[in-house]
Amino acid sequence: MEIRTFRCDNCGKLRVNDEEWWIVVSTERESFTVLPWGHFPNNGNMTLCSQACIFQLLSEFLVKGKAVAAAAGNGNGAHHLSLM
């Protein structure tokens, strides 16, 4: 029998089974989707332990989008955010 452990990809906290965790599916600049644990396979997606970790990564995602838009000269950082 294989036992898998998961750590938060943001803070490193070890997952305990009774905690509510999240999966974040993100394409580098275009979308940021947050799903409850178990609703989407976490293969290659980020595993996060709390709202604080979600908000920290969302903030970084938005800042990256602004920087890309500024470099392109259009000032319009188009993002797609979805919470399910």
Q: What is the phi/psi pair of residue 77, to 5°?
A: -85, 90
Predicted confidence (pLDDT) per residue in 22-62, tens digit: 888 876 667 888 888 876 666 778 889 999 999 998 888 88
The Cα 48–Cα 24 span in angstroms is: 7
Sign of CA dihedral 30, 32, 35, 40: positive
Are the C-beta atoms of 49 and 9 separated by less than 8 Å?
Answer: no
pLDDT, greater one: 7 or 75: 7
What tokens does 75 get?
């000032």
What tokens does 41 get?
């396979």
